């Protein structure tokens, strides 16, 4: 934990010295609805937003009325959230769902307009994966920015039909095939924005998913909302600094059914500011994965009743019965310790003193015998 704290302080110091000086609030817009994989998707985007190092407002637009399931989930983020409902049900067909999600995002822009929320709007779909570098990059946007997104979808690389195309080029050149699963802005050698690298889904219509829960792969729109960011003041009412190439809000609102991307807010699409190294760096990954119609996932991902045992455990960390203690009738055999006795030093001194006494007695007897012999002579 100390190491993580040191890293965070170093990163904060680097951002203060070399990063954006006057950062703007990030306004994340997420359309969602209650479904099997909602918890999975919302948890992922929630943790991405929680790691954004800037002030953030999370606008969650829920299809139908707001529900406790969604409210309890987003409340765990600790972020400033605006949870609003949208009076419509999610349709079964994917094409209709894409159109409804566009209307839900536009509904969030209306909320930003009415509350005059100031910041950079990013369209954070609940099933997408975001790079944290994206939130640093969008701080440089003046009005409308675009970046490249990776399309996580299956397609046959060996098939000639599986081709992506570059469209809407200013030089009106013919479409050139490209197998890169990327959507985003395209720049020329002078780093000037010249068009879009868009997804051509015409060759995949028969192999793509038609309805939610279908087993086939889900394909994106030609130009996804997730690849754009915009200054929230672009949708404000009576904004003095609004550029002349921005459409009037009422004009766009009348044709909301036809709005497929933020480009509908612009009179001239060439004013888009390319981000991420002029579109050369992927900053977001687009993915659509939903539970199949025949899936058996637990409701709300709560396991009740408990799971059944399908593979019994061979060993458990606790015994089935307490261990048996030794009974009192058993005899306890003790082995006495055998110690080796060593002679003490006092015993040796006694032996030496007795020997000296015997020698003295022998000397006295010899002297007495010698004196007796001398007298007899």
Answer whether residue 343 is part of any domain. Answer: no
Residue 169 has pLDDT above 50, yes or no: no
Contact 211, 96 (CB under 8 A): no
370 Cβ neighbours under 8 A, 6+ residues apart: none
Answer whether residue 377 is part of any domain. Answer: no
Q: Which pair of structure tokens corresponds to residue 192?
A: 């000037």
Given pLDDT bands bounded at 50, 70 and 90, which one contains residue 358? Answer: low
User: Of 20, 28, 19, 61, nearest to 47 (Cα)?
Assistant: 28
pLDDT at 214: 74
pLDDT at 294: 66
Rounded CA-CA distance 63/34 in Å is 8
Please compute the mean of the pLDDT values over residues 125-150 and round it to a whole number. Answer: 92
Answer whether residue 319 is part of any domain. Answer: no
Q: SS3 of 140, please?
A: helix
- CATH number, position 276: 3.90.550.10
Answer whether residue 8 is part of any domain. Answer: no
Residue 348 has pLDDT above 80, yes or no: no
- Count the domains in the chain: 1
User: Of 160, 186, 190, nearest to 173 (Cα)?
Assistant: 186
Q: pLDDT tens across 252-275, in order?
A: 998 888 888 899 999 998 899 999
Contact 232, 55 (CB under 8 A): no
Contact 246, 267 (CB under 8 A): yes
Rounded CA-CA distance 19/6 in Å is 18
Query: How many C-beta atoms lie closer than 10 Å to residue 100's C-beta?
Result: 18
Q: What pTM did the predictor assign?
A: 0.72
pLDDT at 141: 94
- Residue 270, domain extent: 18-154+207-292
């Amino acid at each position: 934990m100390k190491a993580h704290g040191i890293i965070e302080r170093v990163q904060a110091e680097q951002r203060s010295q070399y990063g954006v000086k006057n950062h703007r609030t990030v306004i994340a817009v997420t359309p969602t609805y209650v479904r099997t994989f909602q918890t999975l998707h919302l948890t992922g985007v929630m943790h991405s937003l929680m790691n954004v190092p800037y002030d953030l407002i999370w606008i969650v637009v829920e299809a139908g009325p707001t529900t406790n399931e969604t409210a309890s989930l987003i409340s765990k983020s600790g972020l400033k959230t605006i949870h609003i409902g949208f009076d419509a049900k999610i349709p079964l067909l994917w094409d209709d769902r894409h159109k409804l999600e566009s209307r839900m995002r536009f509904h969030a822009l209306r909320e930003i307009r009415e509350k005059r929320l100031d910041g950079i709007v990013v369209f954070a779909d609940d099933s997408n994966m975001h790079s944290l570098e994206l939130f640093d990059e969008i701080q440089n946007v003046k009005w409308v920015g675009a970046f490249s997104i990776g399309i996580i979808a299956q397609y046959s690389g060996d098939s000639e039909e599986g081709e992506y195309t570059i469209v809407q080029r200013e030089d009106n050149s013919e479409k050139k095939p490209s197998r890169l699963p990327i959507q985003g802005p395209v720049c020329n050698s002078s780093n000037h924005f010249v068009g879009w690298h868009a997804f051509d889904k015409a060759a995949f219509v028969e192999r793509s998913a038609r309805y939610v829960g279908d087993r086939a792969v889900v394909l994106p729109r030609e130009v996804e909302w997730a690849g754009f960011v915009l200054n929230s003041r672009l949708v404000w009412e009576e904004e003095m600094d609004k550029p002349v190439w921005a459409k009037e809000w009422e004009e766009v609102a009348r044709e909301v059914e036809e709005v497929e991307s933020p480009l509908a807010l612009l009179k001239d699409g060439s004013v888009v500011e390319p981000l991420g190294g002029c579109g050369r760096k992927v900053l977001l990954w687009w993915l659509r994965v939903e539970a199949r119609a025949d899936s058996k996932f637990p409701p709300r991902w709560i396991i009740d009743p408990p799971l059944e045992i399908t593979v019994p455990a061979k060993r458990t960390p606790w015994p089935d019965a307490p261990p048996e203690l030794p009974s009192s009738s058993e005899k306890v055999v003790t082995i006495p310790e055998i110690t080796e006795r060593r002679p003490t030093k006092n015993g040796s001194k006694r032996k030496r003193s007795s020997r000296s006494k015997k020698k003295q007695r022998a000397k006295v007897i010899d002297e007495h015998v010698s004196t007796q012999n001398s007298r007899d002579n």
